[in-house]
Amino acid sequence: MTGFRRTLGVNDAVIIGAGSMIGAGAFAAWAPAAEAAGTGLLVGLLIAGVVAFCNATSSAQLAALHPESGGTYVYARKELGPVWGRMAGWGFVVGKTASCAAMALTVGAYLWPEQERLVAVLAVAGITAVNLGGLSRTVAVTRVLLVVSLSALTIVVLSGWTSGEADLGRLTPIDTDIRGILQSAGFLFFAFAGYARIATLGEEVRDPAVTIPKAIPRALFGVLLLYAVIAVSALAAVDTDVLAATDAPLRPVVDAGLSAFGPVVRIGAGIAALGVLLNLIPGVSRTSLAMARRRELPAFFAHVDTARSLPLRAELTVASIVVVLVLVTELRSAIALSGVAVLSYYALTNASVLALAPEQRRWPAAIAGLGLVGCIVLIVSLPPEALVIGVVLLVGGALAGPRQADAVSER
């Protein structure tokens, strides 16, 4: 079995994690969160950040113990058992594939809303071509995308505060109930889930027991601070119903202030979403690879192309499925489905930490317990249709796995 080359350091891993988050939350998640909670989305952002922190510490601990590609698919399998491992694997594959579709649609929503789906398909094709250049090229491109994305977000924040209508009084009162706040947190968690991409790099980073536990919290806290600034700026500049009415919620913020920079921000938003897509597709393909190695997906996907040091077959298949999704789903539905599946994945991450011996934990067990409860609460708060579809896919995938895989894992 061919492995990966360990070439990535802490800074590389932080950039990949940040690149997988910025774009999702910064440009897409505000609209459904505002629709669910209005001004209460700020409380939802805090809740989502707390849950994400708990999940991050659990991911970091497990990644240090099990430095393999596959993330919680590997951790849950080893700590909880094969069925739970399969469910985690399906949670990641389903959730992140839905995230890929959401990010591709976000590119279209900002760059050419009248042809949103066409742009989304072209985005998937282009990003797949970049990824075929190998991971080292992906890191280099992600650096550039982050600079462009952060520049665009700086313009958004400045626009919010140069608007003649900017007013912190818009942030109060909180005009929703607890369910609305929790649902907004479920949507906004979509903005933080990219740090899982770091955990899937277990076979590609140098000294993973040190690199991964450092990279995940650093990427998470940096992005959380950025999101808080954007949220306050957007809410001060425009009413929440304006944010909720569009799939490109930061466009009206710019229009309210530095409207001449609108095209720059639209391009920056599209590039930011491309940055997320750039790292999501490899993450899904590597979990598919790990599942195929254990015969829970066809062995066809277990191949690693030696010339490029990447799972070429899995990556091309994931890209093809994402293209189909962008043609048949809506952006908010994709975000909701992603939330159900990815939060389920992280619930199993926290449960895996709780199954560890005390001496194996680097953080108190109570943090993992809070993360487990938080994930479950946010799952049941998301729209019912996404909850039903997500549960059916996850349970079906877990139960449909070949029984021989369980025997192989015990040898």
The answer to whether 405 and 294 are in contact (CB under 8 A) is: yes
Q: 257, 238, 328, 268: which is closest to 31 by C-alpha?
A: 238
Q: Is 95 helix (H, G, I), strand (E, B) or coil?
A: helix
Confidence category of residue 133, pLDDT binned at 50, 70, 90: confident
Mean pLDDT value across the chain:
87
373-392 core/surface letters (b: 16 or more CB in 10 A; e: else): ebbeebbebbbeebbebbee
pLDDT at 214: 83
Give Cα separations from 203 to 69, 106, 217, 270 (angstroms): 6, 31, 19, 30
pLDDT at 402: 60
Give residue-wise pLDDT tens across range 366-398.
999 999 999 999 999 999 999 999 999 998 888
Other CB atoms within 10 Å distance of the CB of residue 126? 14
**Once rounded to an integer, what is the mean pLDDT over residues 259-267?**
93
Note the CATH architecture for domain 10-400: Up-down Bundle (1.20)
Domain boundaries, the chain: 10-400
pLDDT at 411: 40
* CA–CA separation, 142 and 364 (whole Å): 34
* CA–CA separation, 253 and 312 (whole Å): 40
Q: Which of 39-48, 187-196, 203-212 has the highest mean pLDDT?
A: 39-48
What residue type is assigned to position 355 of the chain?
Answer: A
> Which residues have a Cβ under 8 Å from the Cβ of 287 and sit 6 or more positions away?
69, 70, 71, 73, 89, 92, 93, 96, 200
Q: 176, 174, 223: which is closest to 198 by C-alpha?
A: 223
